[in-house]
Amino acid sequence: MDQFTSLTIFARVVANGSFAGAARQLNMSPAAVSTHIQALERRLGTRLLNRTTRSLALTEIGRVFYERSTHLLAELEETERLAGELQKTPRGRLRINVTPSFGDLHVAGAAADFTARYPDISIELIATSRFVDLVEEGFDLAVRTEPPPESSLVARRIAPVRLVVCGAPAYLEKRDAPQQPEDLAEHNCLRLSELNFRDEWCLTGADGKEAWIPVSGTLRVNTTVALRAAALRGLGLVLLPTFLVGEDLKAGRLVPVLTNYAPADAAVRAMYPHSRHLSAKVRMFIDFLIDRFGNDPDWDDWRFAEPEPAAKKRQRSPAD
């Protein structure tokens, strides 16, 4: 039988001075109460109660056991109360793994605002290019822009990740802006070195058909931040997420091209180990991110802003 149940029944019997009184409080039969007490005494190998037809009294060992039992039950009740409160109010440390660029640009600010709202929370933000083992490395959750690597993780969509082909006005003043995906062959396309499809960009036309376009260029790097910096200097065209270049597009520092051929959307996801009882701190932080970013996050405001003047085609002289 469950030990804590037996301890609870024993404590109620002593407090009521009878089996019948304890049975009424616990909504049990007196026989069931007696069975629990007998099982407890057998397990301990000693008598806890001296019983008569009119009364019962604690033995010397029973008195010591009762004092320790009531203390243990009070601790258990307090622990359960605290656990319930933690499910309602976030507190403690929240350890989060993030994709470097998205984490630096967006999750760090969200984490600061979250801790300002909930001062009993402290957040440790760890950025890694690889997807970590959340359980093995002690993370509460991950906020990543790549799909979950395993099905054992629960994944909640936080916001869309939209990609755009773009370049600096200075670059597009020197070369005709591409009108068709195939025109990319004539451009200096700056690429990520860590992607399997680094020498091809996938673009989807209005008809829904995907086109894998071979691209080449003079620079290949392993971070999106370095790729953005090169594009801003006018070195070439890039295919980058709008969470990284949205402000540049809005300000006109970068200009979108091939807007009729959208790269496939991805998503930012919060991922955590499967658990029946998700802690309040994890649940509320995920909800906070969803409310903060949504389906049309701030970094995509450039899509609805007054359009900047389009990059002009290079003026051709008669000698061209």
Contact criterion met (CB below 8 Å) for 22 and 12: yes
Q: What is the pLDDT of residues 259-283, one digit of tens each?
A: 888 777 789 999 988 765 678 889 8
Q: What is the pLDDT of residues 125-149, one digit of tens each?
A: 999 988 888 888 889 999 999 887 7
Q: What is the mean pLDDT of the chain?
A: 85
pLDDT of residue 88: 65
Residue 319 reports pLDDT greater than 60? no
Percent of the chain at pLDDT exceeding 70 = 89
Sorted by where each starts, the structural domains of the chain and their CATH numbers stand as 3-88 (1.10.10.10), 92-160+267-298 (3.40.190.10), 163-264 (3.40.190.290)
Contact criterion met (CB below 8 Å) for 16 and 22: yes
Quote the tokens at residue 178. 């591409």
Residue 85 reports pLDDT greater than 70? no
Place of tokens 């008669």: 318
Contact criterion met (CB below 8 Å) for 48 and 62: yes
Quote the tokens at residue 128. 């890694």
Residue 309 reports pLDDT greater than 70? no
Contact criterion met (CB below 8 Å) for 171 and 236: yes
Phi and psi at 130, nearest 5°, equal -90, 155
pLDDT of residue 173: 93
Residue 156 CA to residue 251 CA, distance in Å, equals 31
Percent of the chain at pLDDT exceeding 90 = 42
pLDDT of residue 75: 78
Question: Strand pairing partners for 239?
Answer: 165
Number of other CB atoms surrounding residue 64 within 10 Å: 12
Amino acid, res. 115 = T
**Secondary structure class of 7 (helix, strand, coil):** helix
Which DSSP symbol is given to 98?
E
Residue 257 reports pLDDT greater than 90? yes
pLDDT of residue 277: 64
Quote the tokens at residue 141. 């959750």
pLDDT of residue 210: 84
Q: What is the pLDDT of residues 22-43, one digit of tens each?
A: 898 888 998 998 898 888 888 8
Residue that wins the pLDDT comparison between 129 and 312: 129
Number of other CB atoms surrounding residue 192 within 10 Å: 17
Across the range 146-163, mean pLDDT stands at 84
Beta strands in 137-291 (DSSP E): 141-144, 153-161, 163-167, 189-192, 200-204, 210-214, 220-221, 237-241, 255-257, 266-273
pLDDT of residue 197: 56
Across the range 210-222, mean pLDDT stands at 90
Residue 311 reports pLDDT greater than 60? no
Tell me the whole-structure pTM to 2 decimals: 0.66
Residue 242 reports pLDDT greater than 80? yes
Across the range 92-96, mean pLDDT stands at 92
Q: What is the pLDDT of residues 40-82, one digit of tens each?
A: 888 888 888 988 777 788 898 988 888 888 878 877 776 776 6
**Secondary structure class of 221 (helix, strand, coil):** strand
Number of other CB atoms surrounding residue 201 within 10 Å: 24
Amino acid, res. 266 = A
Torsion angle defined by CA atoms of residues 68, 69, 70 and 74, in that order, rounded to the nearest 10 degrees? 100
**Residue count (the chain):** 320
Number of other CB atoms surrounding residue 237 within 10 Å: 28
Quote the tokens at residue 303. 């899509």
pLDDT of residue 250: 93
